[in-house]
Amino acid sequence: MPPSFSVSGGRALKGTIRPAGNKNAALPILAATLLADGPCRVDNVPHIRDVETMLALLAHLGADVRWLGPNTVEVNTARAEPRELDPALCARIRASILLAGPMLARFGRVSLPPPGGDVIGRRRVDTHFLALERLGAEVTIGAAYQLEAKSLAGADIFLDETSVTATENALMAAVAARGTTTLRNAACEPHVQDLVRFLSALGASVQGVGTNTLTIEGGAPLAAAGCTVGPDHIEIGSFIGLAAVTNGAITIDGVRAEDLRSILLGFERLGVRPRLDGTQLIVDAGQERRIRPDLGGHVPKLEDGPWPAFPADLMSIAIVVASQCEGILLVFEKLFESRLFFVDKLIGMGARIVLCDPHRAVIAGPSPLHGGVVESPDIRAGMAMLLAALAAQSDSVIHNIGQIERGYERIDERLRALGAAIERADGTK
């Protein structure tokens, strides 16, 4: 039987926890090792299923992959070949599409089966291929995506949506293209910035890191280099929510303050105000947990958007937190039309939520939560259900925890260290 989490809620969690490396930075960085001419050591890599799948895809292409420690991996793609990617591996993760840019740059051709990933609504791939076509690729759509390019040349590219993975694919192809590429309407999330830093360490010339316009001087040889993946700001936001819903006192050690501005503003609207102390973020017990109304007493709204707005990946967490706060909140999830469908599970646990449409929900709190038997529909909703179970005053069982473990490393072990009563149903820890 697939593993499940058994959770006994109602405990205030306390202690110090370190965020794992950002999986959404690790995945494109690992894909970008195809551009290097030797072994690349990547530190602070989260040892999670999505990373294992990306490494398996690289090994399938002929790369030498070695774990040097619990969170350090070395990848040498010197012997990689332009093989057709394994459809079964590609179906496991959305990030398999990140191999399109570097494979096109390295081999001049790619056969890419459709990527998998979370079922949170329609997720376009058009932006990827439109950008690669501007760099000189020919794209054929069939059972697999076929891309070919005799050579790549720099171009002025305006992305038709601010897609993180399309920005990353375009970046990785552009560093190998002859001439200058200007990438406009580019995503600029912390994980995109980490990829730019890694490409720069390889020898690429990329200007504009942290903005929505990137200028790449392509065609220079790229040498092997190492890098350290930055802390996962989504995991940090999840831990802020964890402290808030359990009325705990948690110190998150090893944060980058510049990655947290919009996240802290969002939680402040819910009456949760962590304190920054250097690289530590401290969430004290006894948070106000009162939703701050807009001026004039209007119902406040929390909405997500492209960076630097509040991240879409934290909306599920914010909904659980809001259910434990005094007041009414409208959440507006703009990016994915199925992201909010998990709220029926929260309603079943006692939350007072009205799902207005696929993108909007109204939460009225605080609502005492009771335990239940639920299932994790995707990575972020799964973590939100885990928060709800820890806040509930009775026992819960969470099935399909493989979804949670795709994004959160050893989450049960790390939460137990904070005092959580969480076990795997099959007896392993």
CATH code of the domain containing 415: 3.65.10.10
345 and 285 part of one domain = yes
180 and 319 part of one domain = no
Task: Give every CB contact of residue 75 below 8 A, 6+ residues apart in sequence.
Answer: 30, 33, 39, 40, 42, 55, 58, 63, 64, 65
- Among the candidates 217, 250, 276, a domain finishes at 217
- Among the candidates 217, 247, 270, a domain finishes at 217
Give me the average pLDDT of each 10-residue run along the chain (429 residues).
92 97 97 96 96 96 97 96 90 90 94 67 74 94 87 96 95 96 97 98 96 96 95 98 97 97 97 97 97 89 94 96 98 85 94 95 96 90 96 95 91 97 75
- Quick one: CA dihedral 119, 384, 345, 299, positive or negative? negative
Beta-ladder partners of 301: 330
* Residue 313, CA distances (Å) to 9, 238, 247, 307, 327 in order: 24, 10, 22, 11, 23
122 and 49 part of one domain = yes
Residue 334: the pLDDT is 87
- Among the candidates 183, 217, 251, a domain finishes at 217
308 and 208 part of one domain = no
Q: What is the pLDDT of residues 244-264, one digit of tens each?
A: 999 999 999 999 999 999 999
Residue 429 falls inside a structural domain: no
CB 236 within 8 A of CB 263: yes
How does strand 373-375 pair with strand 179-184? unpaired
Q: What is the pLDDT of residues 7-39, one digit of tens each?
A: 999 999 999 999 999 999 999 999 999 999 899
Residue 210 falls inside a structural domain: yes
Residue 194 falls inside a structural domain: yes
* Residue 201, CA distances (Å) to 34, 88, 175, 223, 259 in order: 14, 32, 12, 8, 21
Burial 17-45 (b: 16+ CB within 10 A, else e): bebbbbbbbbbbbbbbbbbbeebbbbebb
Amino acid at 52: E
Residue 251 falls inside a structural domain: yes
CB 355 within 8 A of CB 340: yes
Residue 303 falls inside a structural domain: yes
Helix or strand or coil: residue 8? strand
176 and 31 part of one domain = yes
161 and 246 part of one domain = no
52 and 120 part of one domain = yes
Residue 169 falls inside a structural domain: yes
* Residue 206, CA distances (Å) to 34, 161, 172, 253, 377 in order: 18, 21, 11, 30, 38
Q: What is the pLDDT of residues 272-299, one digit of tens each?
A: 999 999 999 999 999 999 999 988 888 8
Active-site residue list:
118
Residue 427: the pLDDT is 52
Could you write out the DSSP letters of every residue in 100-168? HHHHHHHHSEEEEPPP----SS----HHHHHHHHHTT-EEEESSSEEEE-S--B--EEE-SS--HHHHH
209 and 246 part of one domain = no
CA–CA distance, 28 with 7 (Å, rounded to integer): 34
Q: Give the count of domains, the chain.
A: 2
Look up the domain containing 76 and give its range: 23-217
276 and 402 part of one domain = yes
85 and 11 part of one domain = no
What angle do the packed helices 100-107 and 126-134 form, to 10 degrees? 30
Closest CA to 353 of 52, 137, 342, 289: 342
Residue 198 falls inside a structural domain: yes
258 and 110 part of one domain = no
Say what the pTM is: 0.93
Residue 297: the pLDDT is 82
CB 335 within 8 A of CB 364: no
140 and 193 part of one domain = yes
CB 182 within 8 A of CB 214: yes
Residue 361 falls inside a structural domain: yes
